Amino acid sequence: MKRIYFDNAATTPLDKAVLDAMLPYMTDHFGNPSSIYSYGRESRLGIENARKTVAKILNAHPGEIFFTSGGTESSNTAINAAIRDLGCRHIITSEIEHHATLHSVEQLHSGQNIALSYVNVLPNGHIDMEHLRALLAGSSKRSLVTLMHANNEIGNLLDIHAVGKLCQEFDAIFHSDTVQTVGHYPFDLRNTPVHFINGAGHKFHGPKGVGILYINENVKITPFIQGGAQERNMRAGTENLYGIIGFAKALELATAHYEEHSKYINDLRMYMAEQLQQHIPGIGFNGDLYGRSLYTVLNVSFPKSEKSEMILFNLDINGICASGGSACTSGADAGSHVIRALNSNPNQISVRFSFSKDNTKEEIDQVVDKLKELV
């Protein structure tokens, strides 16, 4: 059976050109980057060239880019540093963040008695900016605002500049989880009012287990992981050398083909939305599909029935990969906290389809035909 992969927001296949860039650092250039002899210097040069590539693409300074194990570590580092090092005693977030954020802020709230507020989410999935202003204005303590740039389940895009300016107005620290947007949109960090952002290589055809944390040069924090002096004393542990090379190469390719791929992928998404509306009665879409939304994600609500309750299982046995929300909870009975926050209708089943440059309209036609049977 030929499988159809529509879960690219969870992870993407590694690009062949990325693997080709990584392979020499798995074989010939294997030295520890902290070693001072030639093998070590070759590895160190590879890492620093990768850092310069990433910084140039994001319009940041190389000194602001730190390599990590991925989005979760980066978010944890930023959130904890804001409390530990930057004087924040009040966290403002939303109920539809990734669990890497939610679990971090909940732990700080319960373990360190840090005040925690949840900004209202509008019915279309966007942040209520008036409520965010009221929370900032009403706080007697310095606030950390941590809001994701694009929601990984429904695809809604945050106005990162508007939130950043609001944070500036109230001297708040701003962290944005940009895992779903780094590698998918152009960034201009020199002109974006944000203190921390993060990225993960496997979301844009790079390797798993490698990410970045951007720390604005005006922010001084202490390490989250203790040990050696790697990453300019900011992240102990021998660097994921070939992962870092792969991250930079994947970001380079994604940026070079942004215009072409983003249009192609969005056309696929809208084509599937039209086909579903045409052929399956009673469906709906979660999030702001026709407005400010990530071009890779389509979150569909199906009417609940005996057949649709098993929809993900039945898609899987027919070789179709999709998820019920975030990849981190797709196998859990609890379902999606994001959908619960937006749509408490117990008579609907939500499925997230997410696309990449490798998908085709023919695949969408096959999936829609199968859904007609299953629903």
Average pLDDT over residues 13-27: 98
Is residue 228 over pLDDT 70? yes
Is residue 110 over pLDDT 60? yes
DSSP-assigned beta bridge partners for residue 320: 4
- Do 229 and 321 belong to one domain? no
- Residue 327 has a pLDDT of 45
Pick the catalytic residue from 88, 167, 321, 328: 328
- Residue 131 has a pLDDT of 98
- Residue 313 has a pLDDT of 92
- Do 189 and 273 belong to one domain? no
Distance CA 92, CA 90 (A): 7
Average pLDDT over residues 106-119: 97
- Do 263 and 248 belong to one domain? no
With H, G, I as helix, E, B as strand and everything else as coil, classify residue 33.
Answer: coil
- Residue 304 has a pLDDT of 85
With H, G, I as helix, E, B as strand and everything else as coil, classify residue 274.
Answer: helix
Is residue 332 over pLDDT 50? no
- Do 139 and 157 belong to one domain? yes
CATH number at residue 226: 3.40.640.10
Question: Can you give the residue range of the structural domain that contains 362?
Answer: 4-12+258-374
* The token pair that represents 360 in the structure block: 């085709």
pTM for this one? 0.95
All residues at 6 or more sequence positions from 118 whose CB lies less than 8 Å from its CB, including other chains: 92, 93, 94, 95
Q: What is the dihedral of CA 220, 222, 223, 227, to 10 degrees?
A: 130
- Do 286 and 222 belong to one domain? no
Average pLDDT, the chain: 95
Distance CA 168, CA 370 (A): 50
DSSP-assigned beta bridge partners for residue 115: 90
CATH number at residue 366: 3.90.1150.10
- H or E element in which residue 352 lies: strand 348-354
Distance CA 76, CA 108 (A): 11
Length reported for the chain: 375
- H or E element in which residue 306 lies: none
Q: Which of 221, 256, 291 is the last residue of a domain?
A: 256
Report the 10 Å Cβ neighbour count for 85. Answer: 13
User: What are 276-293's pLDDT values in tens digits?
Assistant: 999 999 999 999 999 999
- Do 124 and 212 belong to one domain? yes
- Do 8 and 141 belong to one domain? no
Distance CA 260, CA 299 (A): 23
Average pLDDT over residues 356-360: 98
Is residue 91 over pLDDT 80? yes
- Residue 325 has a pLDDT of 55
Q: Which of 238, 256, 274 is the last residue of a domain?
A: 256
Q: Which of 200, 232, 256 is the last residue of a domain?
A: 256
Q: How many domains does the chain have?
A: 2
Indicate the pLDDT class of residue 329, thresholds 50, 70 and 90: very low
Distance CA 214, CA 194 (A): 9
Is residue 3 over pLDDT 90? yes
- Residue 334 has a pLDDT of 60
- Do 206 and 328 belong to one domain? no
How do beta strands 90-93 and 143-146 pair? parallel
Q: What sections of 85-182 are H helices per DSSP? A: 99-112, 129-137, 160-169
- Do 214 and 81 belong to one domain? yes
In the residue annotation, 88 being an active-site residue is answered as no
- Do 27 and 175 belong to one domain? yes
User: What are 120-162's pLDDT values in tens digits?
Assistant: 999 999 999 999 999 999 999 999 999 999 999 999 999 999 9
Asked if residues 151 and 125 have their Cβ atoms less than 8 Å apart, the reply is: yes
- Do 70 and 110 belong to one domain? yes
- Do 251 and 345 belong to one domain? no
